[in-house]
Structure 1
């Protein structure tokens, strides 16, 4: 079983895009440096000062690149500490190292948080070797030795757990985006199929009257040209959109005109009110379906998560350049974070971005939650 775990860990890739040095790293290095200097000056019973300073240096310095080079930082730190302890054993010098040596726990955590699988295995071996050597250099009771191993193993396990959680969240977000892309692909497929069916009918009609009524045949060709142009624009919408194999839905796709279906009876809570204004004719079918889906998801979120909400207002305003959707509720949101945290919001943002629009969701200044999306009237793929 241990062999299987090590084999699986060895093949684990490094997490994508680890952050480079951040202000917290510099602050940590600054605090540890001041602490080490003060401890070296004030504390008695330490090992020779050169060894103490070397040990502090090899622990503190690698913290600055521990995320981007986790194995290198661990090998430098614990390899140098092993050499320092071997020198202490060979010279028979007494005294201990600085308490800031405990900062090496951060490197054990970082190794399993940001390192590749083989880096984690190699680095863990280096850490275990140092633990064995330092136990000889600083003889302790069995309980203290077991505690030291437990601290480092716990730090490594914590890094692995946070890594797994972050990876699972990224996968969930990717799945939410994929589902939204599949929904868009299905809607676009139905729209293009509608245009192509119209082209086929007009072509048949034009051929039937071409000999007896050339003018009607020309009109049919004009209609075919317009339908083909629309179909081409919608077909371009499918570029880059992945679609999983699934049964097709044959019901017409919803549009802005169908938003009234989202309102509830007078007894339902929260009550949904829909207001349409401006230029809402001749919207791209993909844009019309997106407005409906965004409003539908926003109302669903309000009913699930807005505490004590009594009203949800849906306002759609069309203008010459595009259309704006605003959904407000008067409930207390379950979170004060205005970011894209929920997977439903991830899908809404993905749909809006694919259609060339902008999206924002967050708490309002007074009370409640607002979802706002702006889409162009005719869509161009990004």
Structure 2
């Protein structure tokens, strides 16, 4: 029990408490009208006007019930306590207007939007006021039981809505974290691919610089182009990460962009072939095929020893789409067995979409990466 109270005491205020809106203003206005009407038509002693004025003090509390739930609860139940004291001092039968039942809304607001300390302090105050009211009214066992159950029901209802809101926020944070992880993978793939291309071009430039200056100039231009594209795509990714609206703003690449990876003017050469109906793929699957091919190509360029040719083939396989990336290098070690996402990240990407990925030495040598993804993504 002590541990439970400690956890409640330390619990922060929820972040979803909106400021007073139209509903709260309408509620406060309706309460004020009800108090005034009841004060005019309800028969009572000469201090009935004082009761009405005290009841109207609850109006600001209804406006603050979300932003300052503890203050609102103290005001509302403080007025109810003053009315009980006035009733006891004057030996009156009943001074509290029926509209004062609105203070129960403040109890709900306290549990729904208050911090742990605010809830503990507010509930203690509410218990004292309710006990005073029951004592002054000389309530019987049935009234006491009903009143306690009503308060517990309101507090429990507020706790349920608070828990649901907190659960929804945690789910949103989890989704956002998954989206950021996906963006991190996209950024890794983009940078690794372009930097590998830059490195290959730079190595070729160093070889031909002395013998073929004109060709070296073309290689330098290709390096500049790759570097510019890398910077541009990195800026796009960073901007999307900052805006938290990546789903709409992220540049979409897919199978249709694979032919751009082909090249014949460098070693290894890259050939791209597309076969079958590759349209109407879900957007995640379309993008994943491109990124898997890009990552496998990057690994082959960087790690396939002696490779002169890399083939990227994509075809329709029943209700799935198959990607195969093969090189003709020496398969004594696993391309991509480096720090970063590598083959692990590729396998995770495929599994998230309900597909499979395998990598290993090919039957005729070299290294082969194969992935099969469902056309519509995970069920």
TM-score of the two chains, using structure 2 as the length reference: 0.62
1:320 corresponds to which residue? none
1:261 paired to 2:306: no
If asked which structure has higher relative contact order (CA below 8 Å, sep 6+), I would say 1
User: Separation in 2 of the partners of 1:25 and 1:206?
Assistant: 71
- 2:194 corresponding residue in structure 1: 195
Which residue pairs with 1:30 in the alignment?
Answer: 29
Partner residue, 1:329: none
In the alignment, does 2:144 pair up with 1:145? yes
Q: Is the CA contact 1:58–1:80 (under 8 Å) kept in the aligned structure 2?
A: yes
Q: Which runs of 5+ in 2 are unaligned?
A: 243-252, 259-273, 292-379
In the alignment, what sits opposite 1:101?
Answer: 100
Q: What's the counterpart of residue 249 of structure 2?
A: none
| Unpaired stretches in structure 1, ≥5 consecutive residues | 243-252, 265-271, 275-285, 294-382
Structure possessing the higher radius of gyration over alpha carbons: 2
Deviation at 1:130, TM superposition (A): 0.3
Which residue pairs with 2:117 in the alignment?
118
Name the counterpart of 2:298.
none
Give the equivalent residue in structure 2 for 1:8.
7
Per the TM alignment, residue 44 of structure 1 is displaced from its structure 2 partner at its CA by 4.2
Of stretches 168-177 and 199-208 in structure 1, the one that deviates more from structure 2 is 168-177
CA distance in structure 2 between the aligned counterparts of 1:44 and 1:159, rounded to whole angstroms = 36
Query: 1:177, 1:46 → 2: CA distance?
Result: 62
Which segment drifts farther, 80-89 or 194-203? 80-89
Matching of residues 326-341 of structure 1 within 5 Å = none
Q: In 1, Cα distance between the equivalents of 2:134 and 2:39?
A: 22
C-alpha distance 137-256 of structure 1, shift in aligned 2 (>3 A): farther
Measured in 2, the distance between the counterparts of 1:169 and 1:256 equals: 37
Residues 82 and 291 of structure 1: CA distance in aligned 2, closer, same or farther (over 3 Å): farther
**Partners of 1:61 and 1:211 in 2: how far apart?**
84
C-alpha separation in 2, matches of 1:72 and 1:198: 64
TM-score by length of 1: 0.62
State the SS of the aligned residue for 1:67: coil
In structure 2, the residue matched to 1:214 is 213
**Structure 2 contact 254–289 (Cα < 8 Å) conserved:** no
Equivalent in the alignment of 1:132: 131
Alpha-carbon distance, 1:163 to partner: 1.4
How far apart are residue 213 of structure 1 and its match? 1.2
Partners of 1:81 and 1:42 in 2: CA distance: 20
Matched, 1:90 2:108: no
What secondary structure, in the 3-state scheme, does the structure 2 residue paired with 1:239 have? helix
Which residue of structure 2 aligns with residue 161 of structure 1?
A: 160
- Find the aligned partners of 1:22 and 1:176 in 2 and give their Cα distance: 29
Preserved contact between residue 14 and residue 115 of structure 1 (Cα < 8 Å):
yes
Structure 2 Cα separation of the partners of residues 154 and 133 of structure 1: 20
Q: Tell me how large the CA RMSD over aligned residues is.
A: 3.0
Count of matched residue positions in the alignment of Structure 1 and Structure 2? 262
2:181 and 2:162 map into 1 onto residues whose CA distance is 28
